[in-house]
Structure 1
Amino acid sequence: MAAASDRDSFGDLPDELLWRVLSFLPADDALQTCVLDTRWRDLWRHATSLLFVFDGPTFPRYSRFEQLVKPVIHLRGNSLLVRCEIDTYPDDEPEDTFTNTRLLIDYALACKAEELVVRAADVKYDQPVFDVPLSLISQHLKTIHLERVNLDCSDLKFSGCPVLQDLTIQFCNIHARKMSSKSLKRLFIIDCCSLPDIVRLRICAPSLISLQLEVFEGLTPFLENMPLLETAHVNLDGGCHDHCRSNRGVCDNFVCGCHTYPVKEGVLLNGLSNAAKLDLIALPKMFLYRWDLKWCPVFGKLKTLLINKCFTAIDLVCILQHSPVLEMLTLRFDNTENIVGATGAQETIEQPLTCACLKFVHIECEKVDEGVREILNMLGRFGILPN
């Protein structure tokens, strides 16, 4: 009907809806709508999302990125942005630099973007990885998502972003000794990030309420006090360097990970001690949780806890003794050899244990073997009956 009447088929739709449609289009597709008429040109200029994400073979993506950056900046002017997503590509000239990418990031910040996504596009394996400019300064930026980039700075200060709330670091190389933000509420370091292996990354985020740390290469970060923390998920996988090669927790090999543990303070659990919900997962050879428990952190707000087979029965009792309001406990393991196999310190298990608030105990396992029965008996001695 619109074609027959020579009318714009979208002419009756409100601007707000068309802005919404444009927000889902990559930069090149969105820009092409400007040829329709002057209304579309104005709509594109005032769209609040800018997506430099390209499909297709490698070369067209790379070439199109370089062609679009300066024209888009020129034509959009200073219209406000809410979200900017960038797949970065190295410049053709000068070789192996990211001038256009940095120009685009500066433009997004100048347009008061609230969310910035930067990922290094997988162009060629021999291309350099983009180094994120760490002097990000914005009074409006609330969310940063970094993927496949370098964070090459001794101190990752986000003081220039006073309203930053969400930070996701994924597949990145982190070379910093410290990461700090007074406003940050949610932090995710995930998916094979490379962390320092000589000096631990110290994380200072006093306003943090949610933390996810898993599948990384290097030393486990040191967590400073997080008084507002509510939930945390930590998984120490095979890339974590906090393990003992002898599988004993301490050995005579001074290059082993067991000698990187600090002498005068813990690493993780003290920083997590204010959380109401914790998932603590690791391979059995990872001794960090066990080492941290020697500092007797008190989990005064902890209500929900999930642990796996990296904890021994003695570790479990220690946690229960220091979790006065725990309501739900989940034990997850495919075998019970580690959790019941610890020797000595029987007196720890025999110490009084009161779990007045504990309502549910779930044991997730492939089969109820002798180890599971031993755990059930141990819990039963304290009046704890699993479901």
Structure 2
Amino acid sequence: MSNKRMRPTVLEASTYDFISSLPDESLQHILCFMTTREAIQTCVLSTRWRHIWKSVQCLEIKASEFTSKMGFVNFMDNLVLRRGCVPLDSLRMYTLYQHGNVSLNHHNANMWVGYALRRNVRELHICEHYSEYFDLDHSSFISSHLKILRLRNVTISDLFIEKLFSGCPALQDLVMIDCCVYATRFSSTSLKNLTFISHSPDNGDSVHDDYKDLVIDTPSLVSLHLECLPFLAPCLVNVSSVAKAYIRLDDMSFPCFDTKYNILSGLSNVTKLKLLNEEYDDEDEDEDDSFRSRKNEVLKRDLRRCQSFNNLKKLSVDDWCVDVDLSALIYLLRCSPIIEKLTLHLGMIEGLAWEQWMSYPQEETPDLSFSCERLKKVKIICVQDDKRVPAIVIAILANANSLPEIVIKPSKHVWRKEEISA
């Protein structure tokens, strides 16, 4: 009789566990697509799967998978204990907005973060959507491997930021969204991407009770995103490497009209720039616009200090440079010889500003000449019958090297004609 191995029967082939026969690296890769709790649950499948989860280097902790805070804490404590010294690539801990009632915040939480840092974690996410801020201890942030740190609804002290940049010399990406940030100085030689956003209007009031400078001294920075930061005036120092900038200023950004800040003047090498004001709801219409006027004046004064934006290709601005006349906008275009796309977000200008625009003597109209040979598209988002639009279009058509595409879109707020002319 031949000793040649017989082919498996159809039944044997249909019941054979092909997945379990894969090498460990493949099984670990499969588990990376699961949350950590789901990955650990695979240990009951067979003895082959019992310890595979321990070698997974991407941990995703979803607090909403747990029905109680104690269950979540026990899970995390056991995870740290049983996983041991296996290196980590990423740790993501988060709660889902309005899903579940379990917060990440616990006195053991900083121990879990410290464990990840000791395991040479490269990417760390802490996203708390619960009603309380996550208290993050700075003492454990000593790592030569951490490159990406993303935080949401986390309390961040000035000491934490100072220790973070000194203790994590490889840090490249820092994201802070809806965080309670006490720090006002960000100084790092390694940081390449910085995002600082506050969607909650209470954040500024609860942290800063007076105007402060938000100093950003980051010579390696490539991308900058600042949004909705009341009482914080951006002061950009040594950021000439920034190529992409999105800045949405709050009305309460600057303490007075005479304030001088490096914003536009600090972004000389930017290729894509959005510099906008905070968006307003209908209930904001009757508010005193002196703060907006102050902000606009500060920006226009800063603009006049700029020499050129020789790399700028995409530009988005709003009323701060077209509130009374077009001089600031024209100056900005003169400084941007290779601009390809221009987007203007025009809101309502009311009171004295509107009267000045409507009564502007023709003979006093400033020089509107500029040269933008590569301008291909202009998008204007405005309210109905905005009298600034025709003047803008005429100036562009008179100076563009070739006919650009011009798109005029209505803004999300619809205004009656009598409101516009009031």
* Range of TM-score over shorter length: 0.7 to 0.9
Q: Is the 8 A contact 1:211 1:233 kept in 2?
A: yes
**1:69-218 maps to which residues of 2 (within 5 A)?**
69-87=76-94, 98-122=106-130, 125=131, 127=132, 129-135=133-139, 136-153=141-158, 156-157=161-162, 158-192=165-199, 194=203, 196=208, 197-218=210-231
Matched residue type, 1:272: L
Q: Is the 8 A contact 2:212 2:233 kept in 1?
A: no
**What is residue 301 of structure 1 aligned with on the other side?**
311
**What is residue 27 of structure 1 aligned with on the other side?**
36
Q: With structure 2 as the length reference, what TM-score do the two structures score?
A: 0.74
Residues 345 and 289 of structure 1: is their aligned pair in 2 closer, same or farther, counting only changes over 3 Å?
farther
Q: Is the 8 A contact 2:149 2:174 kept in 1?
A: yes
1:341 is paired with a residue whose SS is: helix
Cα distance in 2 for partners of 1:359, 1:173 equals 42
Q: Is the 8 A contact 2:169 2:190 kept in 1?
A: yes
Residues 87 and 344 of structure 1: is their aligned pair in 2 closer, same or farther, counting only changes over 3 Å?
farther
Cα distance in 1 for partners of 2:361, 2:183 equals 40
Among 231, 234, 256, which residue is 1:258 paired with?
256
Q: Is the 8 A contact 2:212 2:231 kept in 1?
A: no
Residues 348 and 181 of structure 1: is their aligned pair in 2 closer, same or farther, counting only changes over 3 Å?
farther
Q: Is the 8 A contact 2:344 2:380 kept in 1?
A: yes
1:318 is paired with a residue whose SS is: helix
Aligned length: 356
Cα distance in 1 for partners of 2:38, 2:319 equals 51
Matched residue type, 2:272: K
2:212 is paired with a residue whose SS is: coil
Say whether 1:275 aligns with 2:285: no
1:50 is paired with a residue whose SS is: strand
Identity across aligned pairs (percent)?
33
**What is residue 249 of structure 2 aligned with on the other side?**
236
Deviation track 1:179-227 (CA, whole Å, cap 9, x = no partner) reads 1221111111124264544321211211111112223333232221212
Residues 121 and 332 of structure 1: is their aligned pair in 2 closer, same or farther, counting only changes over 3 Å?
closer
Structure 1 regions of 5+ residues with no counterpart?
89-95, 244-256
Matched residue type, 2:318: N
Say whether 1:376 aligns with 2:393: yes
RMSD: 3.3
Q: Is the 8 A contact 1:187 1:211 kept in 2?
A: yes
Deviation at 1:155, TM superposition (A): 7.0
1:156 is paired with a residue whose SS is: helix
Structure 2 regions of 5+ residues with no counterpart?
1-9, 96-103, 279-288, 406-422
Deviation at 1:163, TM superposition (A): 1.9
Matched residue type, 2:264: L
Residues 331 and 3 of structure 1: is their aligned pair in 2 closer, same or farther, counting only changes over 3 Å?
farther
Cα distance in 2 for partners of 1:5, 1:273 equals 65
Comparing 7-16 with 72-81, which one deviates more in the overlay? 7-16
Comparing 138-147 with 324-333, which one deviates more in the overlay? 324-333
Deviation at 1:87, TM superposition (A): 3.7
